[in-house]
Amino acid sequence: MALIVQKYGGTSVGSIDRIRNVAARMIRTRDEGHQVVAVVSAMSGVTDGLIKMAREISSNPSERELDVLLATGEQQSIALVTMALQELGVDAVSITGRQAGIHTTGSHTRGRILNMNPALMHQFLNAGKTLVVAGFQGVTPDGMIHTLGRGGSDLTAIAVAASLKADVCQILTDVDGVYTCDPRIVKNARKLPEISYDEMLEMASSGSKVMQSRSVEFAKKFGVVFEVRSSLNDNPGTLVLEEHPHMENAVIRGVSIERSQARVTITGIPDTPGMSGRILGALAEAEINLDMIISNIAQHDGFARHSFTMPSCDLGKAQAALKPVLASLAPDAKIETEGGIAKLSAVGTGMRSHSGVAAIMFQALGAAGINIGMISTSEIKIAVTVDETQIEDAARAVHDAFGLDKMSA
């Protein structure tokens, strides 16, 4: 008998019929002789709807109250899934984040897991019950309701699997697994049998939003092997795990894209110690997540310049945060902004041991007539920005150049 954690996302519990399907699927797993713990999200659209209502009341609602509000979405679904199981004769019980012993820290709406106390879950499991745990929520040291950031049910699932030492952790979702690229854009994209945590993280942080990034980091840290697969069929999905010697030997594992990006360039910054720290510090304080950061010194005037990318929606906030620091530190500085760009990233741990990967990618883009804006690299990623209108062509060109439609030896 294995202990299996199954996470069902918002689409999988998106209607009463789908909730019944989730119950049926859990029962199938139980009938195969396993213990099942489901972690469920709010029904699709519910969290967004709650946020919208909050914003209708206040443009800046209290984050503590947002947590209280948003956590209700998952509470609806655990009760409904549990009722569906009970209706089919299963001895099931719903469990909130607090009852699951998910202790959190950090600011409201962005909780991080501090530790887990699975005592109550064990008690129910020992009594033969099937558990339905609320995703996305935990409890602060002083007993407040806390949510784990958008997509946080993934994190709950990984944490529950880790704390119960589950044999299997399945992330059941509306995609079949992790693909070499979005199959809606690249028709011959291929489902990957396996991907390493590091690659999954790079793909997630560069736009392939299969899972919440923090949940993958958590899985890596605690060695939780999990599988991303469809909740609508029984096809095998993609296993996410630590890199191992028998993994498909590819230089590039996949290509991800991220639209709606903007670039900010600041010129005329005095070339003195501490400048970058103070400028970027102001953006960090405004909680703006910068992505690519490129800086250099212009030969002709000796001033430094910084360029960075961020989601277009943060542009206004960034300008507001930059104005006061620049006014006091760098009166000659100018800010230029550019929207309508997109980012393409090629990701693969094989890059660590291969050279010439960037050249293949840039040549493929050149041959497709696509102009590259900014370039940045990490040990396992090469990312470029291109005009947003060309991003799909860019993805196809790079996917082809690396032959990602075919399994490599």
Find which of Mg ion, ligand ASP, none residue 8 binds, CB within 5 to 8 Å per kind.
Answer: none
| Residue with smaller CB distance to Mg ion, 39 or 322 | 39
| Residue with smaller CB distance to ligand ASP, 71 or 395 | 71
CB–CB of 113/97 below 8 Å?
no
| Residue with smaller CB distance to ligand ASP, 41 or 196 | 41
Sheet with 381-387, side-by-side order of all strands = 293-297, 304-311, 254-269, 334-347, 381-387, 375-378
For residues 122-141, which are near ligand ASP according to CB under 6 A? Answer: 135-136
| Residue with smaller CB distance to ligand ASP, 73 or 97 | 73
Residue type, 220: K
CA distances from 193 to 92, 224, 228, 253, 273 (A): 33, 17, 10, 11, 48
By rule CB under 6 A, what string of x and - marks binding of each residue 38-77 to ligand ASP?
---xx----x-------------------------x----
| Residue with smaller CB distance to ligand ASP, 73 or 138 | 73
* 240 vs 262: CA distance, rounded Å: 31
Closest residue by Cα to residue 330 from 383, 290, 276, 371: 276
For position 104 contacting ligand ASP by CB under 6 A, the verdict is no
Look at residue 163 and give its three-state secondary structure.
Answer: helix
* 293 vs 304: CA distance, rounded Å: 13
| Residue with smaller CB distance to Mg ion, 151 or 254 | 151
By rule CB under 5 A, what string of x and - marks binding of each residue 21-60 to Mg ion?
----------------------------------------
Cα Rg of the chain, angstroms: 23
| Residue with smaller CB distance to ligand ASP, 215 or 390 | 215
Size of the site for ligand ASP (CB under 6 A): 12
Which of 30, 34, 64, 150 is the binder for ligand ASP (CB under 6 A)? 150
* 230 vs 23: CA distance, rounded Å: 15
For position 153 contacting ligand ASP by CB under 6 A, the verdict is yes
Which of 4, 6, 7, 9 is the binder for Mg ion (CB under 5 A)? 9
| Residue with smaller CB distance to ligand ASP, 136 or 226 | 136
CB–CB of 158/221 below 8 Å?
no
Minimum Å gap between C-beta 355 and ligand ASP is 40
Q: Which residues contact 121 (CB under 8 A, 6 or more apart)?
A: 37, 95, 99, 100, 101, 131, 133, 160, 163, 164
Closest residue by Cα to residue 77 from 49, 42, 44: 42
By rule CB under 6 A, what string of x and - marks binding of each residue 5-24 to ligand ASP?
-----x--------------
Q: How many CB atoms are closer than 10 A to CB 163?
A: 22
Find which of Mg ion, ligand ASP, none residue 348 binds, CB within 5 to 8 Å per kind.
Answer: none
H-state helical runs in 127-249: 153-164, 197-205, 213-222
Task: For 236-257, give one letter per residue: b (16+ CB within 10 A) or e.
Answer: ebbbbbeeeeebeebbbbbbbb
By rule CB under 5 A, what string of x and - marks binding of each residue 130-169 to Mg ion?
---------------------x------------------
Minimum Å gap between C-beta 151 and Mg ion is 4
Question: Which region among 55-63, 103-111, 144-152, 283-291 touches ligand ASP (by CB under 6 A)?
Answer: 144-152
* 379 vs 113: CA distance, rounded Å: 28
| Residue with smaller CB distance to Mg ion, 9 or 177 | 9
For position 151 contacting ligand ASP by CB under 6 A, the verdict is yes
Antiparallel, parallel or unpaired: β 194-196 and 381-387: unpaired
For position 97 contacting ligand ASP by CB under 6 A, the verdict is no
For position 152 contacting ligand ASP by CB under 6 A, the verdict is yes
Question: Which region among 78-86, 152-160, 281-289, 303-311 touches ligand ASP (by CB under 6 A)?
Answer: 152-160
For position 216 contacting ligand ASP by CB under 6 A, the verdict is no
| Residue with smaller CB distance to ligand ASP, 158 or 322 | 158
* 211 vs 386: CA distance, rounded Å: 25
Helix and strand tally (H, E) in the chain?
11, 18
* 313 vs 366: CA distance, rounded Å: 29
**Interface with ligand ASP by CB under 6 A: which residues?**
10, 41-42, 47, 73, 135-136, 150-154
**Interface with Mg ion by CB under 5 A: which residues?**
9, 151
